[in-house]
Structure 1
Amino acid sequence: MRSPYQDLPERAFWRSCVGRDDDAALAQLWAPKAGITRQTALMTIGSCFAQHLHRALVRGGWHVLQGEDMSAHMPTNLCHRFGYNLFSGRYGNVYTARQFRQLIEQALSPDPVPAPIWERQGRFFDALRPTVEPEGLGHPDEVAQSRKEHLGAVRAVLENTECIIVTLGLTESWIDTASGYALPTAPGTVAGDHDPACETFHNFTHGEVLEDLKASRDLLRAAGLPARFILTVSPVPLVATAGGDHVASATAYSKAVLRAVCGELQMSDPDFDYFPAYEIITTTIARGPYLDQFARQPTDDGVQLVLRAFSLALGAGDTAGKGPEDSPAIPPVPVPAPADDDTICEEILLEAFRK
């Protein structure tokens, strides 16, 4: 008598592979679709967790592209405070698949739709990356010029990357009515003022997230750019929800939608792969969960484990050693943030509005 399960590898069975963090078990967590080496040009982008991945990859010796690099001119903490060297570009946190798609559209377009500009106490902010200038700029024209230079840098990164690591964090978003752009946070959080006539709340569905990610790939292909994608899902829960549900239920919805989209693309599209950073941090798959006392931020041990699994699955050995990029001391943005957060994160600022 034969069973379809009798010749499956160890990684297919719960009891033989879950709850282990040895090299052999970590190497089985991911079966990469395509060859990636430490010399492969990588681009990082996404939500707050992508900052952890970016730093871990850099200190692990991977070839991470760095547009708008200011590390030779500013100390690390100051770089991070002004949005430099957190990701492969100075785009701030890109929480949703729609933000990712629209950034590619803007970077590849000769004449993108202008981004909305917010004001706070006579200073002006790019609404699509409001925390990269903590004090704002002195005139809207300066914001527009800064964005133009930024998009040129993003295009250069896109033209040189071989693989884009995209960390999806949220499905909830605020949409600017005039431009149609998805915003990283609601106006009135960092700067600007909320006006229901000017922006609307939207919670993206599975179909919309799937369409946005495929459209992102298609935009690159139309421009002759061959980069493929590794998708991850951020383990960081929502700080707050505007959808009416309990924040825990809203978090479960967002993560389930994002994980389902990643799974569908991994199974059906050769350009997309999925790396299980979400599972490593939040579940027992590798002796986790690896979350801090507030159950929000991944611990450094968890981040190191994520990079170990990434490296071992690619046959690159354990390259998760700590280095000078390991400094967690990133100054907070101007609005007070809870002490559990050491990343530059617009979403955490929502906590300041809790009554």
Structure 2
Amino acid sequence: MKHPYEQAPPYTKWRHAVAAPATEAVDPGIGFPFRLSRRDRVATAGSCFAQHVGRALRGRGFSHYVTETAHPFVANVAGPFAYEQFSARYGNVYTSRQMLQLVQRALGLFEPADRAWTGPDGHWYDPFRPTVQPGGFLSVEELETDRRRHLACVRTLLDGLDYLVFTLGLTEAWMSATDGAAYPLCPGVAAGAFDPAQHLFVNLEVDEIVADVEAFLALITAINPSARLILTVSPVALAATAENRHVLASNTYSKAVLRVAAEMLARRNPGTIGYFPSYEIITGIHSRGGYVLDDLRSVSEAGVAQVMASFARNATRADEPDPADAPAPHDPVALRQAALFKDLSGLTAAECDEAMLGA
């Protein structure tokens, strides 16, 4: 009788799938459960790495679903003001708790007690989007008007998306002692003032992340039953840790927790949640460090290109014609995959608020 490993496909064996192939031929995206078409409305949220997905999809004719755009009069400064970094102007959503509360706020189910922070310039900043408005707002009224518009745009997003790509970035977070509201940054880093009696540090565990994600997905599918979730884990290392230990140990712990949580979610919710292995593509030993920059945390252009090439092969419909430059008939799949994300200029310029923690 043959044992199970004898007839297993080559991609299940380290020697064939990791050690022997050229770096660019290693592709752990095999078996991804969803195939996106250009008609699908794909929303993005999460840590800074999720920005790469939106830009690449948009650059090659896929629908990066954006519901919050800048007024034409200020379109020339839309980038610094966090428009179209993601599908709405929420900035980096680093943790599962942030994402859950964002969905709850958009649906009118949660209103944090913390309404506005002041900065060193005397202007007003949104505690849950402290960096999206450079220079802050001139008044609390202006801030709250913008916030109402923002949450309405998020609600529109939840109603209309087909897929949500959510990049799990961090387990470490700061929360309000009053109501558990999760901040994207520690108070006092970008705005506000840190108060150890009011601002609590938490390091989310696997079961908490799983519960958060399943809770926000249930809220979305209650109003949009066909919505699907694509999870990724950010390969960008922690800029700093609030734990009293070496940042390398904290980074390893956080990424392991996020990866296990993503696996559990995908296994428990087949057909609704899929995990795409961008983390493995960037950080796997097969890359020999070639997909990170000299700071050893930022992803290189080559790394972004490799992730997007795998996404094209494994998560998009290869039989759908490319409207930009249709491939030659003799090798349509290979040519389309090569062309799909060829324009990578500027893709590695993702805005990461978390880098401020390591300054």
1:337 aligns with none
Q: Report whether the alignment pairs 1:327 with 2:346.
A: yes
1:35-94 superposed Cα distances (whole Å, 9 cap, x missing partner): 322321101000011112222222132211012123955566x32210111011100000
- Residue 336 of structure 1 corresponds to none
Per-residue CA deviation, residues 282-302 of structure 1 (Å, 9 max, x unaligned), is 113466540001111100111
Equivalents in 1 of 2:346, 2:8: separation in Å?
A: 42
Q: What do residues 74-126 of structure 1 show as CA deviations (whole Å, max 9, x unaligned)?
A: 566x3221011101110000000001111111111277345531101210000
Gapped regions of structure 1 (runs ≥ 5): 329-340
Q: Give yes or no for the alignment of 1:117 onto 2:124.
A: no
> Which amino acid is the alignment partner of residue 351 of structure 1?
G
Q: Which segment is superposed worse, 139-148 or 126-135?
A: 139-148
Q: Which whole-Å CA distance do the structure 2 matches of 1:79 and 1:155 have between them?
A: 21
Cα pair distance change 1:72/1:322, threshold 3 Å: farther
Q: Percent of counterpart pairs with the same letter?
A: 37
Q: 2:350 aligns with which of 316, 319, 343?
A: 343
In the alignment, what sits opposite 1:297? 298
Whole-Å Cα distance in 2 between the matches of residues 248 and 25 of structure 1? 26
Residue number in structure 2 paired with 1:6: 6
Q: Normalised by the size of structure 1, how large is the TM-score?
A: 0.88
1:55–1:127 distance in 2 versus 1, CA, 3 Å: same
Rounded to whole Å, the distance in 2 between the matches of 1:311 and 1:286 is 19
| Bigger RCO (CA 8 Å, 6+ sep) | 1
Aligned-pair CA distance for 1:187: 1.0
Q: Does 1:283 align with 2:284?
A: yes
Partner of 2:131 in structure 1?
Answer: 131
Contact 2:167 2:231 in 1 (8 A): yes
CA separation of 1:24/1:278 partners in 2, compared to 1, >3 Å: closer, same or farther? closer
Partner letter of residue 195 of structure 2? D
Structure 2 distance, partners of 1:30, 1:137, is 46
Q: Secondary structure at the match of 1:48?
A: coil
SS of 1:80's equivalent in the other structure is: coil
Q: Distance in 1 between matches of 2:115 and 2:246?
A: 30
Counterparts in 2 of 1:204 and 1:53: CA distance versus 1, 3 Å: same
Q: 2:124·2:139 contact (CA, 8 Å) conserved in 1?
A: yes
DSSP-derived class of the 1:87 partner:
coil
Q: 1:249 to 1:236 in 2, by over 3 A?
A: same
Asked whether the 8 Å contact 2:172–2:204 carries over to 1, the reply is: yes
Work out the CA distance in 1 between the residues paired with 2:342 and 2:39.
17
1:18 match: secondary structure: helix
- Cα root mean square deviation, aligned: 2.2
**Alpha-carbon separation, structure 1, partners of 2:25 and 2:110:** 50
Q: Counterpart of 1:80 in structure 2: which amino acid?
A: G
Q: 2:60 maps to what in 1? A: 60
Q: Given the superposition, is the C-alpha separation of residues 252 and 41 from structure 1 closer, same or farther in structure 2, using an over 3 Å criterion?
A: same
Aligned residue type for 1:313: N
- Equivalent residues of 2:123, 2:139 under 8 A apart: yes
| Of 145-154 and 49-58, the range deviating more from structure 2 | 49-58
